[in-house]
Amino acid sequence: MNKINIQVYKPFGSSISSQDLPFELMKDFREDLKMIQELPEEKKKNYWFGYKLAGGLGNEGEFLITPDVMYKWKKKYFDQVITYYTECHYPEKKVERIIINSAWHNFMLKNQWNPIHTHSAFTGIQENPSVSVVGYIEVPKQMNPINGAKPHYDFSGCVEWREGTEGMFQYASYKRLPKERQFFVFPANLQHLVYPHSADKPRISFSFNAVIKFKNTDDNK
Mean pLDDT of the chain: 89
Contacts of 190 (CB under 8 A, 6+ apart): 14, 118, 132, 161, 162, 163
pLDDT at 218: 54
Identify residue 204 by its one-letter amino acid code. I
Label residue 50 exposed, middle or buried (CB < 10 Å: 0-12, 13-18, 19+). middle
Residue 172's pLDDT band (boundaries 50, 70, 90)?
confident
pLDDT at 220: 47
The C-alpha atoms of residue 106 and residue 135 are separated, in whole angstroms, by 10
Which is nearest to 98 in space by CA: 133, 59, 63? 133
Label residue 166 exposed, middle or buried (CB < 10 Å: 0-12, 13-18, 19+). exposed
DSSP characters over 118-134? -S----SSSPPPSEEEE
The C-alpha atoms of residue 21 and residue 182 are separated, in whole angstroms, by 6
Q: Give the percent of the chain with pLDDT over 90.
A: 64
3-state secondary structure of 162: strand
CA 45 from centre of chain:
22
3-state secondary structure of 51: helix
Which is nearest to 204 in space by CA: 72, 108, 103? 108
pLDDT in tens, 110-138: 999 999 999 886 655 668 899 999 999 99
More confident residue, 132 or 156: 132
pLDDT at 108: 94
More confident residue, 1 or 186: 186
The C-alpha atoms of residue 36 and residue 44 are separated, in whole angstroms, by 6
213 within 8 A of 99, measured Cβ to Cβ: yes
pLDDT in tens, 44-77: 999 999 888 888 788 889 999 999 999 999 999 9
Segments making up each domain of the chain, as ranges: 44-137+181-221
Which is nearest to 112 in space by CA: 205, 39, 209, 191? 205
Please give the model's pTM, rounded to 2 decimal places. 0.89
Instruction: Give how far Cα 105 sits from Cα of 34, 163, 165, Å.
Output: 11, 25, 31
Instruction: Give how far Cα 168 sits from Cα of 161, 171, 193, Å.
Output: 19, 8, 24
More confident residue, 204 or 167: 204
- pLDDT tops 80 at residue 78: yes
